[in-house]
């Protein structure tokens, strides 16, 4: 196993890092100003468009997508680039057209879409002309178990009729989110994992209704297009909008979530690095009881623990990426679950301690820490709560083994 970045990964990562420091980090206060100037507006802000144009010009675009349709990077090559973007979760992933949920939706269309679906939806997503949402979670069912899903997709001649209610559809408050991938049941009597299907629902279809935005610890996440509750009131879409076949929804969801989870973890490492860097700067600047905070034993311990946790978890993320590249996503399932639990937990603690070192400033919006905390805390629920992954990982670990 050799996880060192090869020359391609090294070169792109260095360019991404330069782009981050020269363009993205200085753009964060500009984004704040543009958001404040238009409090009711969920559309992509001009500063994001500017960054996207610059990133495209520098070929820092669609780097997440392996294979010939994307930038062609392997997961192992993409990992350090994604980590760089995690320093500014608000701006860098979207600047590079590498932000969830569009990335997962593009992967679904790339891997399972028909040529017509690709032309209509994948191409404008790849050029960031439109945005998209993924609508799986429902207010009325425990959605960590996707077999619970209640939304119905009924065949009616050469159409399907979609009926149900979804929430936490990230990005859907953005009016540019033109297409929703909706998961529902086509056959509630089929085998448990063959009841679900996925279908493309254009947002302008009659019967699609945005009910309300949801906030995360009070943050509206307008920089990500927010999170919406959406009603699908007997929405009629052409049968050709079904992705793959009836009953394939569960398998597509599994395929979508693997890469999505590792991308979250790659970026979260960068977020942890930023929190450690902020902690270090503050600890050196601030003095209490006759010495700098950096000279206090407990702060040193926090810094040391943060460092070795990030180093160890980075290796596990890289191993997972390498396994996905060499053995396939399915074979990397155990590792994907492990990092999905371990990385957000560790980064949450790192950010929490960085907040503590900042004192009251840490819980204010004068530093990015509070918002970073909200993001990484919700990651312990989004894309499957910790407990679901722990249960499955534990079951695999406790599988009877040959006697020693
Ligand atoms: C910021 C954010 C963005 C999101 N974006 C999207 C999106 O774009 N699209 C989308 O469809 N969804 C999205 N979600 C929703 C997310 O994927 C779901 O919230 C998640 O799958 C859990 O479903 P639930 O909320 O219904 O929790 P439930 O299924 O009700 O579970 C509640 C709790 O029960 C416990 N639990 C569940 N199963 C087990 C078990 N096997 N063992 C032990 N305990 C268990 C866990 O503690 C869990 O947190 C997002 C969520 C957040 C917070």
Closest residue by Cα to residue 375 from 285, 278, 272: 272
In this predicted structure, what is the pLDDT of residue 402?
84
Q: Percentage of residues in the chain with pLDDT exceeding 70?
A: 100
Closest atom of ligand 1 relative to the 135 alpha carbon:
11
CA dihedral 262, 260, 345, 397 (to 10 degrees): -70
**Cβ neighbours for 372, distance < 8 A, ≥ 6 positions apart:** 89, 271, 274, 275, 351
- Alpha carbon of 170 to ligand 1 centroid (Å): 13
Q: What is the pLDDT of residues 292-302, one digit of tens each?
A: 999 999 999 99
Closest atom of ligand 1 relative to the 381 alpha carbon:
20
In this predicted structure, what is the pLDDT of residue 71?
83
Q: Nearest residue CA, atom 24 of ligand 1?
A: 143
- Alpha carbon of 27 to ligand 1 centroid (Å): 32
Residue 288 CB coordination number (10 Å): 10
Return the bridge partners of 159, or none: 156, 238
Residue 402 to residue 140: CA distance in whole angstroms? 43
Query: Is any ligand 1 atom within 6 A of the Cβ of residue 119?
Result: no
Residue 327 to residue 342: CA distance in whole angstroms? 22
Structure tokens at 64: 């997440």
- Alpha carbon of 356 to ligand 1 centroid (Å): 28
- The residue among 255 and 58 whose pLDDT is bigger is 58
Residue 316 to residue 312: CA distance in whole angstroms? 7
Closest atom of ligand 1 relative to the 166 alpha carbon:
11
Q: What is the mean pLDDT of residues 85-109?
A: 97
Q: Percentage of residues in the chain with pLDDT exceeding 90?
A: 92
Categorize the per-residue pLDDT at 1 as very low, low, confident or very high, splitting at 50, 70 and 90.
confident
* CB 359 within 8 Å of CB 367: no
Categorize the per-residue pLDDT at 66 as very low, low, confident or very high, splitting at 50, 70 and 90.
confident
Residue 378 CB coordination number (10 Å): 16
Categorize the per-residue pLDDT at 199 as very low, low, confident or very high, splitting at 50, 70 and 90.
very high
Phi first, then psi, for residue 55 (nearest 5°) are -65, -40
Query: Is any ligand 1 atom within 6 A of the Cβ of residue 135?
Result: yes
Closest residue by Cα to residue 374 from 84, 90, 45, 95: 90
Distance between the two ends of the chain, CA-based, in angstroms? 27
Closest atom of ligand 1 relative to the 385 alpha carbon:
49
Residue 78 to residue 61: CA distance in whole angstroms? 12
In this predicted structure, what is the pLDDT of residue 2?
85
Query: Is any ligand 1 atom within 6 A of the Cβ of residue 383?
Result: yes
Q: What is the mean pLDDT of residues 226-239?
A: 98
Query: Is any ligand 1 atom within 6 A of the Cβ of residue 387?
Result: yes
In this predicted structure, what is the pLDDT of residue 259?
86
- Alpha carbon of 101 to ligand 1 centroid (Å): 15
Q: How many residues does the chain have?
A: 404
Q: What is the mean pLDDT of residues 25-48?
A: 96
Tokens 């979530």 sit at which residue?
A: 257
Q: Is the pLDDT of residue 67 over 80?
A: no
The number of C-alpha atoms within 13 Å of 45 and in the hemisphere containing its C-beta is 26
Return the bridge partners of 171, or none: none
Closest residue by Cα to residue 196 from 249, 245, 137: 249
Closest atom of ligand 1 relative to the 101 alpha carbon:
8
Closest residue by Cα to residue 306 from 267, 354, 252, 263: 354
- Alpha carbon of 385 to ligand 1 centroid (Å): 5
Residue 157 CB coordination number (10 Å): 7
Q: Is the pLDDT of residue 46 over 90?
A: yes
**Cβ neighbours for 311, distance < 8 A, ≥ 6 positions apart:** none
* CB 198 within 8 Å of CB 241: no
- Mean pLDDT of the residues in the chain: 96
Query: Is any ligand 1 atom within 6 A of the Cβ of residue 107?
Result: no
Closest residue by Cα to residue 243 from 325, 120, 366: 120
- Alpha carbon of 121 to ligand 1 centroid (Å): 27
Categorize the per-residue pLDDT at 401 as very low, low, confident or very high, splitting at 50, 70 and 90.
confident
- Alpha carbon of 211 to ligand 1 centroid (Å): 20
Q: Is the pLDDT of residue 70 over 80?
A: no
Q: What is the mean pLDDT of residues 313-327?
A: 96
Question: 3-state DSSP: the chain helix, strand, coil percent, rounded to 5?
Answer: 55, 15, 30
- 18-32, 68-82, 106-120, 127-141: range with lowest mean pLDDT: 68-82
Closest atom of ligand 1 relative to the 183 alpha carbon:
11
Q: CA Rg, the chain, in Å?
A: 21
- Alpha carbon of 79 to ligand 1 centroid (Å): 25
Domains of the chain: 7-113 (1.10.540.10), 130-243 (2.40.110.10), 250-397 (1.20.140.10)
In this predicted structure, what is the pLDDT of residue 203?
98
In this predicted structure, what is the pLDDT of residue 208?
98
């Amino acid at each position: 196993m050799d996880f060192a970045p090869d020359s391609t990964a090294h070169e792109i990562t260095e360019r991404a890092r330069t782009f981050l420091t020269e363009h993205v980090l200085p753009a964060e206060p500009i984004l704040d100003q543009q958001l404040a100037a238009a409090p009711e507006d969920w559309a992509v802000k001009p500063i994001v468009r500017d960054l996207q144009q610059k990133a495209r010009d520098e070929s820092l675009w669609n780097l997440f997508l392996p294979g010939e349709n994307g930038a062609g990077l392997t997961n192992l090559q993409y990992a350090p680039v994604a980590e760089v973007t995690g320093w500014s979760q608000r701006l860098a992933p979207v600047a590079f057209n590498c932000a969830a949920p569009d990335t997962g939706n593009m992967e679904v269309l790339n891997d399972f879409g028909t040529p017509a679906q690709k032309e209509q939806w994948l191409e404008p997503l790849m050029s960031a002309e439109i945005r998209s949402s993924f609508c799986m979670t429902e207010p009325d069912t425990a959605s960590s178990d996707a077999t619970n899903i209640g939304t119905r997709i009924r065949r009616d001649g050469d159409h399907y009729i979609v009926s149900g209610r979804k929430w936490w559809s990230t990005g859907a408050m953005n009016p540019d989110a033109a297409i929703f991938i909706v998961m529902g049941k086509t056959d509630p009597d089929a085998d448990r994992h063959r009841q679900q299907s996925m279908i493309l629902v254009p947002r302008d279809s009659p019967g699609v209704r945005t009910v309300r935005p949801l906030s995360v610890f009070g943050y509206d996440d307008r920089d990500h297009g927010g999170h919406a509750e959406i009603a699908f009131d007997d929405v009629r879409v052409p049968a050709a909008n079904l992705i793959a076949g009836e009953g394939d929804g569960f398998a597509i969801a599994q395929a979508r979530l693997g890469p999505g989870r590792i991308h979250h973890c790659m970026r979260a490492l960068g977020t942890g690095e930023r929190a450690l860097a902020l902690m270090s700067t503050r600890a050196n600047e601030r003095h209490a009881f006759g010495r700098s905070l950096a000279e206090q034993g407990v702060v040193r311990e926090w810094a040391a623990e943060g460092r070795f946790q990030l180093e160890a978890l980075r290796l596990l993320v890289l191993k997972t990426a390498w396994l996905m590249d060499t053995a396939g996503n399915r074979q990397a399932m155990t590792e994907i679950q492990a990092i999905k639990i371990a990385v957000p937990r560790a980064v949450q603690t790192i950010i929490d301690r960085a907040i503590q070192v900042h004192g009251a400033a840490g819980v204010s919006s004068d530093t990015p820490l509070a918002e970073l905390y909200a993001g990484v805390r919700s990651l312990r629920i989004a894309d499957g709560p910790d407990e679901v992954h722990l249960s499955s990982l534990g079951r695999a670990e406790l599988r009877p083994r040959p006697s020693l």
